[in-house]
Structure 1
């Protein structure tokens, strides 16, 4: 009888230990999954504060190396408010830039937040951004290496973000900015030349992913569906809080992904369009995302290819107040050469068309119009070595250049996913 009791006790202790171990393994697995998810979103998590990886090290033609620290408080500290910010230093322009802000949640079920920030930093001229894209993160921003046309801005911003549901979310923003181009530029309007200026803007943006799959019990997105649609409207008000210009902008983007039966083979089509009306300075026009530097030979222009940029289009070559781009990529099934060596072939075609009104108003920067339609085609062989690959792109059509070498771009690619 004693032996049976002893065996029973041993069995009970073993069962409890196994259950604890199993629970520990599950907890470790959940923690590991959350860690990878946060890392993929650009944050290195700690107990109360998440370090923002975007600000550690970057490089561009104006600042040289740009390094600093940034981050935000996390839900462990509070799920009702957050504080965020960053500070960086450029080693060529020898200036500090920074931002400080925060927000508080007013509705949990719809993830509604009211936010405020003050930013003193640089922005690439002509780089209209969708304000909802702050949800996106890439470990490496290839175009940033080559950008040289920036304007300084000091911006106060207040916004409200709200999830109507998991397939449709929105943000409304109001901002006041003092803008100072770092290059010799002036905007001529009504016999005045504006070298520095102020803007007062209101924006509303919508992100609609109607085909995504939702877990109704957990109210989470289980699978991204396509196509996806992004809308944004901007209105700049003259004479309100010292603003100098009256203009409006309407921006649209759709992304569609076509999957095939072959494993990991798919096509990706991105259409982006923008329309600016009114007295719009160069800082708020569209540049179609060029990514080619002005060097004499192909090898001197050898840098890193972007994700949705035009690799043969030179920086500051075109600006538009109305434009459309279509980028079509086809990803073939990766070549299974070895366990850790699976390169992937990608075929690419890009089109940009646009126009510019009142070009004579923009003094100090010479540029062309996209009215004839810009075309280029390329091929990438990705993931050859630690995420790096190679690409070759050729410029053809109406903007084909007389010197054949100037129509060719050969670059690194970089693709890594978590």
Structure 2
């Protein structure tokens, strides 16, 4: 959620700089009935500069060179030349006539033949050679990389400049630029530059990047913005079958499956940098799929790409993004090696895809140079630093940047830095920035202290009734080596105060050795999750949901005190060990945690019953999250990317008699989550949880199969289960969910424009509970374990109004259990591309 809120800031700010091209042209291509012609080819005659019209038939092109003729062609239509009388020619309407006769390989619908198509013959040669091109030719490689990222407010007009929100900041509109891709005016609002050394080993399949310098426009907290950008614009290989952009898999025009989703047309051939190349145009066969339109130039001998330009089709099922444009250029190292030297990616973020809608451009320009090959590095060289930050990277002088930039900044680009720095001193801007920071972090900052989290201020449950909470934390910056956090809460029905406080201190930075501890007295819904944590300040949905299905009075008064030490010896591999002391007691007269300390006998049929549990526990756990990226270097970090694999294991041992502890036991818990991207078929999530407790323990310490009595979809819970419906001391839970990303609905004509997305899933749980644990139960709750496997299945529709999802879940077993649901409907909100 945090990363999307940064767009709120971008939509409130501004600046700019003009660069004038020699030839600019825009317009629309139509047929004789004035209907737009999508994916028509538009080029400056006798040049390699061209584009493809979008689905509305519109185009925009510019070039630093002067051209006098525009050539427009489209499958099924006669080509047409347009004379350009001026250097700037906007709003052309070009009408094409249908051809009277067509070659055999051309189909009138605009789809190209899969047989006897020379473009496909060339495409097959590209497939054969793609593993023998560029960096793949060498065992090792290294190079320098310069990356410039910029965010711009676009579609600036006079009415927009006069809005009250910009009062006091009018100076930001002194310079306005025009996009060479869309022809729209824009205002830069954020710039970041980075110089990076890249080392790769194709044999080891390892890559390491070392940042030498990094510079931003001066926004505080820019680490979060930069990290968000890196996640948003992840690296991709144009030769791959699928390109991941915005967490989605787009079919590459060079994919081996491209024939099924693209039309290909051999348009031209020419010398480019003394290499004879073919020009192939591609565009999608169907709407709403994750595809591109554009063209590429490919060498006639190596079948390596020399240049490619492509844009995501407007009908693609992707939210908040109106346009995406990709441009890559390759240089020839020698007769056979083509190396990527420039990579340009531009996205137009907007609330809708209407032509005149305002939005934010996100642009990343990357250059590569000084390639070297077959210089082997030791294996340890590629080991990732766990927590390394070199402050000198962020403090390079202007002289350093002037000397080391791959391309000089224009006078106007240099003015952007100056203007953004000036903007930081404007009171109105600071106020706007503070609002966005509050929404993004959930905290209100007062100097070195934060109030919050504000989203936990109000809650409700059957025991506390309406609940009010106030909390805060120390905050000197994102790289704080220590942090203290606390809260207090009050329930208006139980008329009791609750509280919690915790502290963390990173005593060694390199391996992130952290000591922590805290204490909490609160009300909690036990059994809301299987794999538990001892986070002092954590609180689940079951404890605070305003609206629930059925009674949610099975709540527990919990006292929790812990002390831990954690370390990360290897990147994303964390170990933690510590001790926990907790007390558990029912918080509701309709719920009991009673257990027998002395079992009933003939002489004492009532036995001896105790209503509260006191337990001391030792824990050791390990968590491995490969490919996870984090933000900041302090005692607390934010996650920068999603999804990633997670493996978690926890061992706990209870000790009877230590600080009046009641039970001896040993508990093992294992959690595994694996996201899998299946190309055009979407994304799968597999989750497996296993656990077993050795020893005799009461209800408060048993493992509860997690139910969900809220109206919202919650991962790792069962939608048709109530709390405490299944009790276990050993369990196995499996969960499979798949998101088709709208691929099925896109094939249904009347549903295409809705851009809905389909989900399916299955969840199952197996568990048992021992006779000894049943015997000490005095709670009145009948222990039922899912020995016959409880399972349920679900189907859902997502992307409703872009932010809402509905899930429909059915029970697959235990259908005759009284007071439970066979079918339920859950919802969730979220911002997803």
TMscore range, shorter length: 0.7 to 0.9
Tell me how far apart the structure 2 counterparts of residues 69 and 221 of structure 1 sit (CA, whole Å). 25
Aligned residue in 2 for 1:279 = 696
- Is structure 2 residue 796 aligned with structure 1 residue 376? no
The residue matched to 1:290 in structure 2 has which SS? coil
Is 1:101 equivalent to 2:502 in the alignment? yes
Deviation at 1:130, TM superposition (A): 3.6
TM-score w.r.t. length of structure 1: 0.79
Tell whether 2:635 aligns with 1:233. no
Distance 1:403 1:150, change over 3 A: closer
Distance 2:477 2:559 in 1: 32
Distance of 2:566 and 2:641 partners within structure 1: 22
Query: Scaled by the length of structure 2, what TM-score is found?
Result: 0.42
Against the structure 1 CA distance between its residues 76 and 209, is the aligned structure 2 distance closer, same or farther, given a 3 Å change threshold? closer
The structure whose RCO (Cα within 8 Å, separation 6+) is larger is: 1
* Per-residue CA distance 1:265-291 (angstroms, 9 max, x = gap): 201111111111112221121222112
Give the deviation of 1:14 after TM superposition.
7.7
Q: Secondary structure at the match of 2:657?
A: coil
Sort the Cα spacing of 1:262 and 1:120 in 2 relative to 1 into closer, same or farther, 3 A. same
Aligned to 1:316: 724
CA 389–225 in structure 1, closer or farther in 2 if over 3 Å, else same: closer
Structure 1 gap ranges (5+): 1-11, 294-302
- Residues 342, 48 of structure 1: CA spacing in aligned structure 2 closer, same or farther, 3 A cutoff? farther
Given candidates 127, 131, 135, the residue that maps to 2:533 is: 131
1:176 correspondence with 2:581: yes
Deviates more, 1:18-27 or 1:67-76: 18-27
Partner of 1:122: 523
User: 1:57-98 CA deviation, whole Å, 9 max, x = no partner?
Assistant: 223333233221223212349823321111112233222211
Q: 1:82 aligned to 2:483?
A: yes
CA distance in 1, matches of 2:627, 2:411: 50
Residue 239 of structure 1: how far off its partner (Å): 0.4
| Alignment partner of 1:346 out of 735, 755, 759 | 759
Could you say what secondary structure the match of 1:241 adopts?
helix
Q: How far did residue 348 of structure 1 move?
A: 1.2
Q: Report the Cα distance in structure 1 between the residues aligned to 2:756 and 2:573, rounded to whole angstroms.
A: 36
1:154 counterpart = 2:567: no
Relative distance call for 1:129 and 1:173 in structure 2 (3 A) is farther
- Structure 2 portions without partners, runs of 5+: 1-409, 600-607
Distance 1:46 1:260, change over 3 A: farther
Instruction: Say which of 755, 777, 781 aligns to 1:365.
Output: 781
Match of 2:680 in 1: 262
Change (3 A) 1:259 1:382: same
In structure 2, what is the Cα distance between the partners aligned to 1:201 and 1:220?
Answer: 29
Secondary structure of the 2:719 match is strand
- Measured after TM superposition, the shift of residue 151 of structure 1 is 1.5
Q: Are the counterparts in 2 of residues 126 and 319 from structure 1 also a CA contact under 8 Å?
A: no
The CA distance in 2 between the partners of 1:229 and 1:405, in whole Å, is: 33
Contact 2:649 2:671 (8 Å CA) reproduced: yes
User: 1:380, 1:282 → 2: CA distance?
Assistant: 34
Partner residue, 2:458: 57
Measured in 2, the distance between the counterparts of 1:276 and 1:360 equals: 16
Indicate the SS of the match to 1:71: strand
Q: 1:112 to 1:251 in 2, by over 3 A?
A: same
- Give the equivalent residue in structure 2 for 1:199: 615
Q: Is the 8 A contact 1:231 1:251 kept in 2?
A: yes
Residues 366-385 of structure 1: CA distance to partner in whole angstroms, max 9, x if unpaired? 23111100011111112424
Distance in structure 1 (CA, Å) of the matches to 2:559 and 2:543: 26
**8 Å contact from structure 2 (residues 665, 696) kept in 1:** yes
State the match for 1:414 in structure 2.
829
Is 1:188 the equivalent of 2:593? no
Judging changes above 3 Å, is the alpha-carbon distance between structure 1 residues 79 and 45 closer, same or farther for their aligned structure 2 residues?
A: same
CA distance in 1, matches of 2:620, 2:679: 39
Which of these residues, 249, 252, 256, is aligned with residue 667 of structure 2?
Answer: 249
Matches of 1:271 and 1:410, distance apart in 2? 24
Alpha-carbon spacing, 1:389–1:213, altered in 2? closer, same or farther (3 Å): closer
Closer, same or farther in 2 for the Cα pair 1:379/1:107, shift >3 Å? same
- Pick the structure with greater CA Rg: 2
Secondary structure of the structure 1 residue equivalent to 2:680: coil
Q: How many residue pairs were aligned?
A: 393
- Distance, in Å, in 2 between the alignment partners of 1:348 and 1:37 is 36
Distance 1:167 1:245 in 2: 34
* CA deviations over 1:45-66 (Å, ceiling 9, x no partner): 5542232245212233332332
User: Is 1:307 matched with 2:729?
Assistant: no
Taking structure 1 as reference, are residues 39 and 77 closer, same or farther at Cα in structure 2, changes over 3 Å only?
same
Contact (CA 8 Å) 1:132, 1:207: kept in 2 or not? no
Please, which moves more after superposition, 323-332 or 80-89?
80-89
Distance 1:371 1:362, change over 3 A: same
